[in-house]
Amino acid sequence: MAQPASREPDAYRRAGRPRSEQADRAIIEAALELFAESGAEGLCIEQVAARAGVGKATIYRRWPGKEDLLLDALAALQVPLPKPRGESVRDDLTALLDAMRLESADPRRVRQIALLLGEGTRYPRLLERYVDTVVEPRRDVVRAVLRRGVATGELRDSTNIEAAVDLLTGAMLARSRLRRDRPERAYARRVVDELLTGMAPR
């Protein structure tokens, strides 16, 4: 008797309901809202589930715990940085910092800064993963522009790239932390101009 033809493994559909993008968005938004209200300490899966209108099991099928959920939520909060055009280091840095400036009015973003500046000490694993997966890729974009500036002669050969990244991004973080209003549009240009004055070839 002929044996039935074998089927490739991917021919079978996984058991269970398909993952709902709508539920994903609701969970992420609920997590961000609760994070903005009470920080990582006050975030719990039960509250996220209630606010998102889903069961706890729905969340746990997607994320093993609240740190994993919060990490994905914070990553979703990031506005993509503009792609550097490569024509002017000054213009590219200004565009990058201006994109960071636009994020500062979001209260969830303010809480995110607090995570970096203090709250993260209670969640070292979360902070480490957040820095690795969210913060460093954005800093890498700034690093690449600065390195290009050194290569093209727009910046001094002795430019300390890491210090420059800290000064640029730190200026936006500090302004957002210390003022309730969003930094004005000209602020990013002023920060870049002041920094490049010190890094320009002599």
The full 3-state SS of 61-88, as one line of letters, equals HHCCCHHHHHHHHHHHHCCCCCCCCCCC
| Cβ count within 10 A of residue 145 | 26
pLDDT at residue number 38: 81
C-alpha 11/C-alpha 5 separation (Å) is 12
| pLDDT tens per residue across span 26-54 | 999 999 888 888 878 888 999 999 999 99
- The full set of domain ranges for the chain reads 19-76, 80-199
pLDDT at residue number 99: 87
- For the domain spanning 19-76, the CATH number is 1.10.10.60
Collapsing DSSP to helix, strand or coil, 18 comes out as: coil
Fold of the 80-199 domain: Tetracycline Repressor; domain 2 (1.10.357)
pLDDT at residue number 130: 83
CB 129 within 8 A of CB 70: no
The amino acid sitting at 97 is L
C-alpha 106/C-alpha 86 separation (Å) is 29
pLDDT at residue number 199: 82
Q: What is the pTM of this model?
A: 0.74
> 3-state DSSP helix/strand/coil percent for the chain, to nearest 5?
70, 0, 30
